Amino acid sequence: MIRRIHHAGIVVERLSTAYAFYRDVLGLPLLRQAEIADQGVRAALLAAGDSEIELLEPLRADDGVGRFLATRGEGLHHVCFDTPDVASDLDDLARRGVDLLDRQPREGLAGRIAFLHPRACDGVLVELATPPSHHDDGQSQVRLKRLVIGSRDVGTTSARFQALFGFPEMALNSGPRSMLAVGRGALLIVPDEEVGGIDGMVALSLVAEDFPALMQRFDAAGVKAMRGTGEVTVEPQSSHGVHLHISRYE
């Protein structure tokens, strides 16, 4: 049973530089930071309401995260779902013939974790985590609302996530899109032609508790963004390769 989006993982060149935007400008409190040798990263988790943002700085150029940075640059890397028993979920997925990168859980910054192969989720790298029982939201000023995924076949991708994780579909007004509820958050699956032909994770949607104060911090930091009434889209050059849409509304 998936309880929520635990975090969205973002690869960055340096944590210290990424903190200047994600912690100091967005107002996401730093929960914990650690060097994880077996994953070849220095990682940090920052609170984003019911969810978190994980920043990943590669320690080496010759492992997975290091190669990701070298070939794709900074940006979205994976999504992690919170589950009460990651070991049981792995057993169930293995019985169903799902491609896994981890056959057994291991320790990570989010708790006991395991990764599915991107083939299992139409090019999206999915992590499962059983975190410590206590969740500290850190009184974050911005909340993660949804993850946007591009797909060549929205129906197929939506059905795959529903079959693997049991996410219920939410009603949408119209168009070839699918919204799946994940706890208080959601996955929004859209045609890849709407997002520059990109298949996989393409953007994060956030809600700001104090939108005017956030805009003041954007101005002070020189954040490049397109602004509308009650919403803003941050240009990836300011947010370490991530397309961010932030609204004052749910």
Highest CATH level, class, for 142-247: alpha beta
The residue with tokens 């996989």 is 200
Q: What is the pLDDT of residue 173?
A: 77
Measure the CA–CA gap between 89 and 92, rounded to whole angstroms: 5
Q: What is the pLDDT of residue 39?
A: 87
Measure the CA–CA gap between 122 and 71, rounded to whole angstroms: 20
Q: Tens digit of pLDDT for each residue in 93-112?
A: 999 999 999 999 999 999 99
For residue 168, report the phi and psi dihedrals to the nearest 5 degrees: -75, 145
Q: Which DSSP letter does residue 136 get? A: -
Q: What is the pLDDT of residue 85?
A: 96
CA 139 vs. chain centroid, Å, equals: 19
Extract the residue ranges of the chain whose pLDDT is less than 70. 134-138
Q: Tens digit of pLDDT for each residue in 134-160?
A: 556 667 889 999 999 999 999 999 999
The CATH code of domain 4-130 reads 3.10.180.10
Q: What is the pLDDT of residue 46?
A: 97
Domain with CATH 3.10.180.10 in the chain: 4-130, 142-247
Q: What is the pLDDT of residue 139?
A: 79
Please, where are the H alpha helices in the chain?
Answer: 15-22, 64-72, 86-95, 154-165, 211-221
CB–CB of 179/173 below 8 Å? no
Q: What is the pLDDT of residue 134?
A: 59
Task: Give the DSSP H or E segment for 128.
Answer: strand 126-130
Query: What 3-state DSSP class applies to 195?
Result: helix
